[in-house]
Amino acid sequence: MRIVLTGGGTGGHFYPLIAVAEATRAIADKEKLVGLKMYYYSDSPYDKEALFENGIEYREITAGKLRVYGSSKNIFDMFKAAFGTIEATFSLFYLYPDVIFSKGGYSAFPVIFAARILRIPVIIHESDTVPGRVNIWAGKFAKRVAVSYDEAAVYFPKDKAVVTGQPLREIIKEKKPTGSFEYLKLDPTVPTLLVLGGSLGAEAINNAIIDALPELLKKYQIIHQTGINNFDEIAARAKFITQETPELAARYKPFTFLNPLALKMAAGAASLVISRAGSTIFEIAAWGIPSIIIPIPAENSNGDHQRKNAFNYARHGAATVIEQGNLSTPILLSEISHFFEQPGKMEKMSAAAKAFATPDAAAKIAREVVDIALSHER
């Protein structure tokens, strides 16, 4: 049984593929299905360690990004996408997998196009309330369409779309309170904020946290995933701000990226999460932690999907939303204070987050992947 995974470019695309791969292998082990082989097709391996740990073979395919704004790069990338489609067609012809599971994104386009030519069954998953262009196109001929939000289902054929929620890796499904403060060198008596701007970081959130840092550190300690591109600047600014108060400096913990164990520990220590509105929402929900969600502005977000994700989650009573245009030091400090001044509210939001969570999403999708692969084998 050969299964191809495709999609990528961000952690929101890549790690759900890993979650489904984990669940697929679990099914194969339980049902004693022999000969399972999984492959990841994309223009970058994204996380080589995760691929290796899950026995997934990486195969590079050229991909071109079609931007929503006018750019001369679009012309060049159209040729890259065409070349990638030819590459993918030949590669898939010789491999001839039993099913392809796609998370969408520009890197999935050549593989899905090739799959259509070769009549290889395709399953897709959409993480946002408003699907990306590749998934909307692929949904027309995919065997099954899994979506994280009810709102996304209307973009796909009714007989194909199923609301599964977001597939999460086993290692981060549950937070780890035990030993988390020791692991992160934090004080268990001080409330902890966990700041997540997505796998690449979020400049607006980073700046808001640093601007508010002198006041925040008087009451809280902060675990801050800055993103690799922003780390040096943010760490330097934080060091300058806290240079005369070493006791407060110890309360600020910046990271370029939180690996699965560090993320699990950070979630175990956190009382409140401040985050973008991507697929991280489902991780926060699984942890049952109240949150402040700051979506990417509409002009920088496909179909304004982050804002719609954020307000969908907030309507369930699990979060408060601050739009980026309204993000300022006084507003951020005020919203954070409101949470800690109302412990009863935080308990209700924690329960609402847990109710929103979809811990079995990966297993549901993996079951469909395996069933279609087995039927294709026959």
Strands 252-255 and 122-126: unpaired
H and E: helices and strands count for the chain: 16, 13
CA distances to 214, 216, 222, 237 from 241, rounded to whole Å, are: 7, 12, 14, 6
Mean pLDDT taken over the chain: 93
- CATH for the 172-356 domain, from 3.40.640.10, 3.40.50.300, 3.40.50.2000, 3.30.70.1090: 3.40.50.2000
pLDDT score of 299: 78
Please determine, for residue 209, whether its predicted confidence score (pLDDT) is greater than 70.
yes
Q: DSSP class of residue 105? A: S
**pLDDT of 150 higher than 90:** yes
Two tokens, residue 283: 């991780």
**Overall average pLDDT of the 155-176 stretch:** 95
Whether CATH 3.40.50.2000 fits 2-168+359-377: yes
Predicted confidence at residue 69, as pLDDT, reads 52
Residue 216: pLDDT band with limits 50, 70, 90: very high
Express each pLDDT in 237-293 by its tens digit: 999 999 989 889 999 999 999 999 999 999 999 999 999 998 899 999 999 999 999
Alpha helices in 165-273 (DSSP H): 170-173, 180-184, 203-219, 231-241, 246-249, 260-269
83 or 199, which is more confident: 83
pLDDT at 378 over 70: no
Task: Supply the pLDDT for residue 72.
Answer: 60
pLDDT the model gives residue 10: 80
pLDDT at 199: 62
What average pLDDT does the segment 80-105 reach?
A: 95
Quick: pLDDT tens for 46-80: 999 999 999 999 999 998 776 555 566 666 778 88
For the chain, the structural domain boundaries read: 2-168+359-377, 172-356
Burial of 18 (0-12, 13-18, 19+ CB in 10 A): buried
Range of weakest confidence among 69-73, 80-84, 223-227, 335-339? 69-73
Greater confidence (304 vs 121) lies with 121
- The least confident of 8-12, 334-338, 369-373 is 8-12
CATH topology match: 2-168+359-377 vs 172-356: yes
| Cα angle for residues 255, 305, 330 (degrees, 5° grid) | 55
Question: Mean pLDDT over residues 359-370, rounded?
Answer: 97
In this predicted structure, which of 69-78, 324-333, 352-361 has the lowest mean pLDDT? 69-78
Give the whole-number percent of the chain exceeding pLDDT 90: 84
Give the pLDDT confidence of 20-47 residue by residue, as tens digits. 999 999 999 999 999 999 999 999 999 9
Q: What is the mean pLDDT of residues 93-105?
A: 96
